[in-house]
């Protein structure tokens, strides 16, 4: 049937090579992005696990659907998932990973998210916002983010932020990334 539904899955990531303390730390960071809480499972096995779970869920969701059901809205029975873990910044002291996920599950459009995690490579730890911004600095971030947002979307100082956001304010969140040029924040589309 030319209009038959389909499911597609893609997974990819960076993988630090070697057995140095730093390489092993970054390997644990990458596997954490794939839901592995402790060391032990290789990245290839994690990706294969995710793929198998995806296709098993697809088959389960549509096991009772008849071919005639596909004719009216075949796209409703398509599913797509992509997950990528990338290094977005690396210096001798800091690394930032981005875990990008896109899922289409038969609706009007797919949905996506990017989860950023920054690491202190010297002390081998995940950085929290409180590690890089003081309490006083965090208090100032909301107005700085609003100023940047207004500039990006060409909003006047008197325009409500609801012109481009759901709320009339913007605040820092825990989904931040660090680069050589500073700090950035990422927000979910909805």
First to last CA, the chain: 36
75 φ, ψ (degrees, to nearest 5): -60, -25
**Alpha-carbon torsion 25, 31, 37, 39, what sign?**
negative
Residues 9-46: pLDDT tens digits? Answer: 999 999 999 999 999 999 999 998 888 876 667 899 99
pLDDT at 74: 79
pLDDT at 37: 74
Please state the CATH superfamily assignment of the domain spanning residues 7-127 in this structure.
Fervidobacterium nodosum Rt17-B1 like (3.30.565.40)
pLDDT at 106: 81
Average pLDDT, the chain: 91
Sequence spans of domains, the chain: 7-127
Residue 79, beta-bridge partner list: 7
- Mark the ranges of the chain whose per-residue pLDDT is less than 70: 1-3, 38-40
Number of C-beta neighbours around residue 118 at 10 A: 23
Q: Strand 79-90 to strand 7-13: parallel, antiparallel, or no bridges (unpaired)?
A: parallel
């Amino acid at each position: 049937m030319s209009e038959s539904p389909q499911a597609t899955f893609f997974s990819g990531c960076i993988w630090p090579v070697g057995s140095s303390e730093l390489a092993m730390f970054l390997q644990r960071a990458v596997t954490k992005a794939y839901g592995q809480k402790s060391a032990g499972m290789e990245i290839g096995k994690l990706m294969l696990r995710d793929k198998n779970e995806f296709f098993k869920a697809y088959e389960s969701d549509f096991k009772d659907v008849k071919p005639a059901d596909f004719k009216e809205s075949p796209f409703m029975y398509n599913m797509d998932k992509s997950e990528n873990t990338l290094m977005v910044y690396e210096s001798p002291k800091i690394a930032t990973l981005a875990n990008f996920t896109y899922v289409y599950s038969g609706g009007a459009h797919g949905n996506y998210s990017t989860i950023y995690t920054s690491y202190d490579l010297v002390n081998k730890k995940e950085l929290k916002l409180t590690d890089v911004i003081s309490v006083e600095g965090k208090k100032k971030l909301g107005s700085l983010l609003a100023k940047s947002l207004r500039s990006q979307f060409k909003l006047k100082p008197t325009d409500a932020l609801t012109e481009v956001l759901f709320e009339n304010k913007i605040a820092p969140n825990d989904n931040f990334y660090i680069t050589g040029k500073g700090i950035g924040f990422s927000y979910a589309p909805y």
